[in-house]
Amino acid sequence: MLDRSEVGKRGYLREDFRLFHLKDSRAQKLDYHYHEFDKLILFLGGKVTYVVEGVTYFLQPWDLLLVPHHAIHRPTIDPTEPYERVVVWLGREWLERRGDPGEPLETCFQLAQERGFHLLRFDGERRLDYMRTIQHLEEATRSREFGAARLADTLCQQLLIAVDRDILRSRTAQEEKDSYRVDPKIEEILHYIAAHLEEELTVDALAGRFYLSRYYLMHRFKEVTGYTLHQYISQKRLVWAGELIRSGMPVMKAAEQAGFSEYSTFLRAFRGTFHMSPREFR
């Protein structure tokens, strides 16, 4: 479960979870992307800012960034200092299996998504707790001793429970205004889009609703999110349609419910994004 390099821009997770401890100084330019799995990033050193769903986070050592599945994100890395981090990829089916009724293990990701804020920041004592857990988890993923896989599974659950408890205690850096930057109007638009994907979401309709010029909305949205407005809405609709299809909904109904007025347009976009047909995806 341990690797030393992240796999591709979007990544593929075929295990229950996977841990990476990475340190490099090479210049990296990553595009905006999303994953099918949830991701924890424990930042240890370097000069890095991270944009998650339009919010820019200015990371400090021992910050923990929560990136839910399908959240659009991108790091900006200054190569003048080594960038060190621990990254944990978490399979959604594993999270569901390990959760209990009323206490889903993925609570931290759900709350981060609902709050629109993805950063946890700790004091010195709490950092030591996380450091110990992650060190033990990393050792277990490398070990070939008896019960190592079971131990790693247990330690990964322990890590998630700690993160869940901290986010439920609101251990976020949201009150520290120097830790992040957000455009309130674009944030409002992002929330509106997420709640109204099945409705008309043209540039003109959104510009009118939020009292912005068409040009300013297109320019500012691309500047903040990295996506054109059309690309962002299409991506979110495709992700939602994929979720509906996986839940058992007929493909045509899923396309319609996700806001696609033309089925042929949906099929082209779906194949272009997922590189398979909707039926193969299911």
Count of C-beta atoms within a 10 Å radius of residue 67: 24
The residues of the chain scoring below 50 in pLDDT are: 1-9
Instruction: Dump the DSSP string for 64-121.
Output: EEEE-TT--EEEEEETTS-EEEEEEEE-HHHHHHH-BTTB-TTHHHHHHHHHT--EE-
CA 247 – CA 245 distance, rounded (Å): 5
Structurally, at CATH architecture level, domain 2-179 sits in Sandwich (2.60)
> Which element (helix H / strand E) includes 158?
helix 148-168
Q: Given this model, what pLDDT does residue 163 score?
A: 96
The domain spans of the chain are 2-179, 183-281
Question: According to the CATH classification, is domain 183-281 in 1.10.10.60?
Answer: yes
pLDDT (tens digit, 9 = 90+) per residue, 240-264?
888 888 888 898 898 888 888 888 8
So what's the pLDDT on residue 4? 32
CA 81/CA 197 separation, integer angstroms = 41
> What pLDDT is attached to residue 11?
58
Distance, CA of 267 to CA of 252 (rounded, Å): 10
Two structure tokens written together for 200: 């008309």
Distance CA 262, CA 221 (A): 25
Joined together, the tokens standing for residue 147 give 């019960």
Beta-ladder partners of 47: 78
| pLDDT at residue 156, rounded to an integer | 97
- Residue 154: the pLDDT is 97
Round to whole Å and give the CA distance between 126 and 122.
6
- For residue 224, which of 181, 194, 259 has the smallest C-alpha distance? 181
